Structure 1
Amino acid sequence: MPLPTGANSSSDVWAGTITIEANGRTPTCAGIPVGNVVSVTQATASAVSREENPTLGSFLLPEGFRRPHPLAVLREASVVLEAGRCAAAVVAERRQRRATSYVLRQQPRREEPVVLVPGFMAGDSSLRMMSATLRSRGFRTYSSHISANVGCTLAAAAELEARIEAIAIKRDSRVQLVGHSLGGMLSRGLAARRPDLVAGIVTMGSPMLAPGAHHWVLTAAVESLVRLSRAGVPGLMAEECVAGACARQSFDECRQPLPAGVTFTALHSRRDGVVDWRACIDPEARSIEVEASHLGMAVDPRVAAHVEAALLLPAGAGRRTARLGAARRAAAEAAEGSALLA
């Protein structure tokens, strides 16, 4: 989900906090170099900020964005309907396949592999339905090997990069990334840093412009993870991962310009009850509005259709903003029909 944290590892190498040394050496978080994002003086200021807001750095909630209303999370109950819609689509597709000859039912394989990256506190299983849908359309999908996105973002990004590189070498092709929420932010940063590995990205409900613009329910979850990390539980986010240099670098990475030749489609929903939908509209992306809850984006077949279309965009395709709400979509269809009759 929306926080700049997350990794999957049972190894103690990811446990720990950022170390900032006065001798000028590069600071690290969970064994990952933080880089020249903050100086020792800035780190001290960050520590003061954390005393005022022990959970999130203020820079993660820029002016102009806000947390969803406390009752907005009730919209997420529609995930039950969205999952039901997915199940119905699966049943219908199976019936159609049984009624089609084996030769005709085979979908041509797409060249570029697709890796699905889960959101905060989720794992690869959360995107299993979407993976199956894309496979049925001829895409070669891969999991990210994240079982629970609850650790340091820099560690998660390093592990994801290694996973993507291995797949790219195996398939001799650049990879496309589909990320849900936090997974989209990880994908965005990786695409900017490694365009030699990433051909395109599709984000779903990823608040890249304001990771802190999330519901208070998530804040409580983050606080619990930070407390467990402070108590010595390995593999979980530390305070620096949500309010310090680690969080700042992760936030900066997911806002870097994307090179030419990397496609970028960002899906958002005004019905999102977890993050501020406005934070999901990246100015560099082809932005599309969908009708789904935050959780439902991972399972709704209507969202999967937009993901499929985005994955088929040619390299370097123009990025544009499109609103696909029901009213405007109906108006566009009516206008098209009138033009055909004219």
Structure 2
Amino acid sequence: MSLFRKKAADASSMPPPSLPLLALELRAPWEFGAVIAAWPALKRAPLGDGHSVIVFPGLTAGDATTAPLRRYLEFLNYRPLGWGQGLNLGPREGVLDNAKRQLQAACDASGNKVSLVGWSLGGIYARELAKDMPGLVRCVVTLGTPFAGPHTSTNAWRIYQFASGRSIERETENYNLPEAPPVPTTSIYSRTDGVVAWRGSIQAPADHNPHTENIEVVASHFGIGLNPSAWWAVADRLGQATGPDAGWQPFRRPKVPGLHLVYPDPYR
């Protein structure tokens, strides 16, 4: 099969979310509102060890959108950092180099590895940084990030091309996006995502890195970074021990009352 036909087949087998799902993105503000009701449970997440966490925003978004998550992580004793590059309009000239410098500076300042959290397109940055500089990265957590499907499996690829001024097809050819970074890597996704086809956020098992996993939550794409079940999952993953002999464990639905049932059964 030619490369062109293979791409066409991949695209047809992973269509973007339907219009009804896209319309359900309007529920995003209510997801953030649910944090108030879930706060007693969220406070019971394991405390962090004080290491730095860089949080990357999604397409056309900035650090203001990740501020609530970063404040939660600060409450849990982490040192969260925004990406500090204004609106995320794609990997324009200098963007990835600036992200690498920030990662290096954060490691130098703390003397420890840094965790990377990315929302949507921000998760692509987190994954690729971890591939380029794995010795500086503790773990990677992505939220609704489309790394495993064709660009046509999202409802945002035209917005990406308009905002970045780049061809998304040519951009993706420069990277092996489905490949997992060589560090503990978690993809948090939702089957009710109205922007990204959920199968495009599924990390396939990686022989070179057994510490990869997928966590399903019930969330919108615009709300997944503000969703209490996603927050708990992020906190749980950041609190995992890392290293070859650290005893890393995959995510288990919490036994905290009110939280156990919000995670769909991964074996259903």
Normalising TM by the smaller chain, what interval? 0.7 to 0.9
Preserved contact between residue 216 and residue 266 of structure 2 (Cα < 8 Å)? no
The yes-or-no answer on 1:222 pairing with 2:151 is no
Q: 1:145 aligns with which of 84, 107, 125?
A: 84
Question: Which residue does 2:169 correspond to in 1?
Answer: 243
The yes-or-no answer on 1:127 pairing with 2:52 is no
The yes-or-no answer on 1:71 pairing with 2:20 is yes
Sort the Cα spacing of 1:309 and 1:321 in 2 relative to 1 into closer, same or farther, 3 A: closer
Question: Which residue does 1:273 correspond to in 2?
Answer: 194
Give 1:146 deviation, angstroms: 2.7
Question: Which residue does 1:232 correspond to in 2?
Answer: none
Q: Aligned letter for 1:269?
A: S
Q: Aligned letter for 1:222?
A: Y
Distance 2:144 2:65 in 1: 14
Sort the Cα spacing of 1:70 and 1:305 in 2 relative to 1 into closer, same or farther, 3 A: same
- The structure number with the bigger radius of gyration is 1
Question: Which residue does 2:216 correspond to in 1?
Answer: 289
Preserved contact between residue 186 and residue 214 of structure 2 (Cα < 8 Å)? yes
Give 1:297 deviation, angstroms: 1.0
Q: Aligned letter for 2:159?
A: A
Distance 1:222 1:258 in 2: 23
Helix, strand or coil at the partner of 1:191: helix
Alignment of 1:198-237 (within 5 A): 198-210=137-149, 212-216=151-155, 218-225=156-163, 237=164
The yes-or-no answer on 1:311 pairing with 2:245 is no
Preserved contact between residue 24 and residue 220 of structure 2 (Cα < 8 Å)? yes
Unaligned residue ranges in structure 1 (runs of 5+): 1-45, 50-57, 97-106, 226-236, 333-342
TM-score, normalised to structure 1, is: 0.63
Sort the Cα spacing of 1:196 and 1:299 in 2 relative to 1 into closer, same or farther, 3 A: same
Helix, strand or coil at the partner of 2:89: coil
Helix, strand or coil at the partner of 1:295: coil
Give 1:177 deviation, angstroms: 0.5
Give 1:175 deviation, angstroms: 0.3
Preserved contact between residue 286 and residue 319 of structure 1 (Cα < 8 Å)? no
TM-score, normalised to structure 2, is: 0.79
Distance 1:145 1:151 in 2: 14
Give 1:144 deviation, angstroms: 0.9
Give 1:213 deviation, angstroms: 4.1
Q: String of CA shifts for 1:9-28, please: whole Å, max 9, x gaps.
A: xxxxxxxxxxxxxxxxxxxx
Sort the Cα spacing of 1:65 and 1:83 in 2 relative to 1 into closer, same or farther, 3 A: same
Helix, strand or coil at the partner of 2:232: helix
Question: Which residue does 1:11 correspond to in 2?
Answer: none
Helix, strand or coil at the partner of 1:196: helix
Q: Aligned letter for 2:220?
A: S
Question: Which residue does 1:18 correspond to in 2?
Answer: none
Q: 1:182 aligns with which of 101, 113, 121?
A: 121
Question: Which residue does 1:84 correspond to in 2?
Answer: 33
Give 1:196 deviation, angstroms: 1.2
Give 1:258 deviation, angstroms: 2.9
RMSD between superposed Cα atoms in Å: 3.3
Sort the Cα spacing of 1:331 and 1:72 in 2 relative to 1 into closer, same or farther, 3 A: closer
Q: 1:172 aligns with which of 86, 111, 126?
A: 111
Question: Which residue does 2:209 correspond to in 1?
Answer: none
Mean Cα deviation higher: 303-312 or 74-83? 74-83
Q: String of CA shifts for 1:153-191, please: whole Å, max 9, x gaps.
A: 574322211111111111111100111011111111111
Helix, strand or coil at the partner of 1:68: coil
Sort the Cα spacing of 1:129 and 1:222 in 2 relative to 1 into closer, same or farther, 3 A: same
Unaligned residue ranges in structure 2 (runs of 5+): 207-211, 254-259
Helix, strand or coil at the partner of 1:133: helix
- Percentage of pairs with the same residue: 24
Preserved contact between residue 129 and residue 299 of structure 1 (Cα < 8 Å)? yes
Question: Which residue does 2:52 correspond to in 1?
Answer: 113
Give 1:198 deviation, angstroms: 0.7
